[in-house]
């Protein structure tokens, strides 16, 4: 098979200057001047840019042509592990229960409703039907009115995350004329079902305005309820578990402010809970005559839960009435809280592992739900009901398929409602999961979760896929992945590095991996690679690193800092042009990102620090591992030109002949292909790359 030469992007002078530092960005022209319009209509992309991206796609296809049969085999495996006619456990709400389901061969979910006992099932939204004829379709979720008559549902048909919100009459199955464009993915109902609240996304993809829509009126008549003036804050919307209040939240990555609207008084003005204070986060639930607030106020770094009289709080916003109910305990990070009539339930993480804690209001007694495996994933589904003693949680580990339990808060009985089926078969006893601690550059121990087959020989000969993220306080759970089995069954060690920048070991784990400490994230990941090699789990010429979005930035930074530590890298929608993006406050996520990375526009030291690790700005004339970058044309989070510029820069500067490829999905955004099977084809492609680069193809 004849290999083609890689595309070469034309270099054009594009000079900028900040704080006395001069830069030239020769590939800046790959950013379309009309990128906002392209997000809404991809056909408007400049012809020259399109030609270049399509040339890159053709090059990637040519380079991966010898893996076509492998990709088909991988896809068949991946698909074979999915129960095609799967459905969620119905969530009860009064006389009804709601669920999502898939049919055999279907790409998209159906949103269904039945009677509480499971009788009289009805499909309210058919994702496959709505997606018919569309190159991209994503169901954005649905919410029903309190009387169950109306359903607000949303969809995105460009991949740009501009959702169209519709209202469906469940008695007729027909949509009303109430069609609202450019929203976030969902709406919140007033108690009477006559008003729908939603957040509008502006031309720069910033959710900044809250509107109230009266059913049966034109969207042009919708009332602006709240507008966020600070461009670094995004507006969010929800409703307390009791249904009593509509919550309007505004915030960035470290600060929040919440306003409440009584759900039964939809025309009332929002009431402030507590004024924003830099570095203070809080979320609100209500219980009778009080509010229960999860917060890090008062130096409660790992969060606490306070109680405050409702009347006093709304009459005098602020923290003057706040009294600790669940005190701050260093090292115990409270992640979320759900409040029911007689109980409060929270999810916390201690020593890197999650657990659920149940607190009974009448006597203040608490108990926890814990598990025995070395590493596992745990989640809570709050459900729709408030006056209940039943909660639902999910559990899995890297060897144990996902399990859904109903748990009785009073009796402490648990009932298994669903166990993830793997149609092609899965024997957990054939696999081993472990939790290791890798020493980083400063002696900090970094958790690393492993999955490998019991028959895998650990003498350094096994290839390894090492996954990492490490930003925004997001922790990567050690959960079950049917996809990973395709590598593990071929002798791979599958590893997750729980690096700083997440909250795996508490809030301090996050703080020590952001802003002026961001390089700890990269050092931790490199340390994980070195530790796995030194302990004989793999070798550096067999390690494939994998990360997406901010994890793609991790890939780029580590490729610059320690290219010898990796055989190859997979960077999906990689945030690799950090400095340029943080200098452009017109881009969708830039202002809200400054607390995470620093503000290089106003802060010279932040500029210098970001410039010292920003992947594109630190590519050098040296040997690099093989790199596969993937982007999405309509991605509003990591714009398509970031991976395009990075690949062009690598080709220009690297000194070896390692393979560097770019694939841009011309019909999708940040999440890649929308259909569940189409997405698996992308997984098969990147796994084929990993297998090829480690000699396993």
pLDDT digits (tens, 9 = 90+) for 388-441: 999 999 999 999 999 999 999 999 999 999 999 999 999 999 999 999 999 999
Mean pLDDT along residues 45-65:
97
Q: Which of 182, 222, 524, 635 is catalytic?
A: 635
Which two tokens mark 234? 């995004």
Active site annotation includes 144: no
Among 183-197, 263-277, 577-591, the least confident range: 577-591
Among 36-45, 71-80, 673-682, the least confident range: 673-682
For residue 1, pLDDT over 60 is answered with no
Active site annotation includes 635: yes
**Residue that is written with structure tokens 């829509």 in the block:** 213
- For residues 267 and 256, give the distance between their C-alpha atoms in angstroms, rounded to a whole number: 24
Name residues whose C-beta falls within 8 Å of residue 614's C-beta, 6 or more positions apart in sequence.
576, 577, 578, 579, 580
- For residues 464 and 191, give the distance between their C-alpha atoms in angstroms, rounded to a whole number: 53
Q: Which of 286, 302, 670, 674 is catalytic?
A: 670
Q: Which of 549, 599, 617, 674 is catalytic?
A: 549
Rounded to two decimals, what is the model's pTM?
A: 0.93
**Residue that is written with structure tokens 């398509």 in the block:** 640
Name residues whose C-beta falls within 8 Å of residue 420's C-beta, 6 or more positions apart in sequence.
83, 396, 401, 402, 403, 480
For residue 229, pLDDT over 80 is answered with yes
Please state whether beta strands 195-201 and 188-189 pair in parallel, antiparallel, or not at all (unpaired).
antiparallel
Return phi, psi of residue 252, to 5°. -120, -155
Name residues whose C-beta falls within 8 Å of residue 655's C-beta, 6 or more positions apart in sequence.
621, 622, 623
Q: What is the pLDDT of residue 304?
A: 98
Active site annotation includes 230: no
Query: Residues of the chain with pLDDT > 70: what percent?
Result: 99
**Residue that is written with structure tokens 């044309």 in the block:** 633
């Amino acid at each position: 098979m004849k290999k083609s030469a890689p595309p070469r992007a034309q270099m054009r002078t594009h000079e900028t200057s900040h704080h006395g530092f001069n830069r030239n960005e020769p590939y800046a022209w790959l950013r379309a001047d009309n990128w906002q319009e392209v997000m809404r209509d991809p056909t408007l992309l400049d012809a020259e840019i399109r030609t270049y991206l399509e040339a890159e796609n053709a090059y990637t296809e040519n380079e991966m042509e010898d893996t076509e049969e492998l990709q088909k085999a991988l896809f068949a495996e991946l698909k074979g592990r999915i129960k095609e006619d799967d459905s969620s456990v119905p969530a009860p709400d009064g006389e009804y229960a709601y669920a999502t389901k898939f049919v055999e061969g279907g790409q998209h979910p159906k949103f269904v409703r039945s009677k509480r006992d499971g009788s009289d099932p009805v499909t309210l939204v058919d994702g496959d039907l709505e997606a018919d004829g569309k190159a991209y379709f994503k169901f954005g979720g649905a919410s029903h009115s309190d009387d169950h008559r109306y359903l607000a549902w949303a969809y995105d048909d460009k991949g740009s995350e501009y959702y169209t919100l519709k209202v469906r009459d469940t008695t007729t199955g027909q949509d009303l004329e109430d069609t609202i464009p450019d929203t976030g993915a969902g709406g919140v109902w007033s108690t009477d079902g006559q008003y729908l609240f939603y957040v509008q996304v502006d031309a720069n993809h910033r959710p900044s305005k809250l509107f109230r829509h009266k059913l049966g009126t034109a969207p042009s008549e919708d009332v602006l309820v709240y507008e966020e003036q600070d461009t670094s804050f995004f507006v969010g919307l929800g409703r307390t578990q009791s249904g009593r209040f509509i919550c309007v939240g505004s915030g960035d990555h470290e600060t929040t402010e919440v306003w409440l609207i009584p759900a039964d008084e939809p025309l009332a003005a929002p009431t402030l809970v507590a004024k924003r204070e830099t570095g203070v986060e809080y979320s609100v639930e209500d219980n009778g005559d009080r509010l229960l607030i999860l917060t890090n106020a008062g130096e409660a770094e790992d969060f606490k839960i306070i109680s405050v009289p409702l009347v006093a709080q709304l009459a005098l916003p602020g923290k003057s009435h706040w009294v600790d109910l669940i005190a701050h305990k260093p090292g115990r990070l409270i992640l979320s809280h759900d409040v029911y009539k007689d109980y409060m339930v929270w999810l916390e993480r201690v020593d890197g592992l999650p657990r659920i804690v149940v607190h009974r209001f009448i006597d203040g007694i608490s108990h926890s739900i814990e598990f025995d495996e070395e590493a596992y994933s745990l989640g809570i589904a709050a459900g729709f009901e408030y006056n209940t003693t039943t909660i639902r949680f999910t559990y899995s580990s890297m060897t144990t398929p996902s399990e859904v339990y109903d748990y009785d808060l009073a009796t402490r009985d648990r009932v298994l409602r669903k166990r993830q089926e793997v149609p092609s078969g899965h024997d957990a006893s054939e696999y081993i999961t472990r939790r290791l601690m890798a020493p980083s550059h400063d002696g900090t121990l970094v958790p690393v979760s492993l999955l490998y087959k019991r028959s895998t020989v650990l003498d350094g000969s096994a290839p390894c896929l090492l996954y990492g993220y490490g930003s925004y306080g997001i922790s990567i759970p050690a959960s079950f992945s049917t996809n990973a089995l395709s590598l593990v069954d071929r002798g791979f060690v599958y590893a997750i590095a729980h690096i700083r920048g997440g909250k795996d070991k508490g809030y301090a784990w996050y703080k020590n991996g952001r802003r002026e400490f961001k390089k700890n994230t990269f050092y931790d990941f490199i340390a994980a690679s070195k530790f796995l090699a030194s302990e004989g789990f793999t070798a550096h010429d067999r390690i494939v690193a994998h990360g997406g979005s901010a994890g793609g930035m991790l890939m780029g930074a580590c490729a610059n800092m320690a290219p010898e530590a990796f055989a190859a890298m997979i960077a999906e929608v990689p945030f690799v042009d950090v400095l340029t993006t943080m200098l452009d406050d017109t881009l969708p996520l830039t202002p809200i990102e400054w607390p995470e990375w620093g503000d290089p526009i106003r802060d010279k030291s932040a500029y210098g620090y970001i410039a010292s690790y920003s992947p594109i700005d630190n590519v050098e004339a040296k040997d690099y591992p093989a790199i596969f970058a993937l982007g999405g044309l309509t991605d509003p989070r990591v714009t398509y030109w970031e991976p395009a510029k990075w690949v062009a820069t690598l080709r220009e500067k690297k000194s070896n002949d390692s393979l560097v490829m770019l694939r841009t999905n011309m019909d999708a955004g940040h999440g890649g292909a929308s259909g569940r099977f189409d997405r698996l084809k992308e997984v098969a492609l990147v796994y084929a790359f990993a297998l090829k680069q480690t000699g396993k193809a």
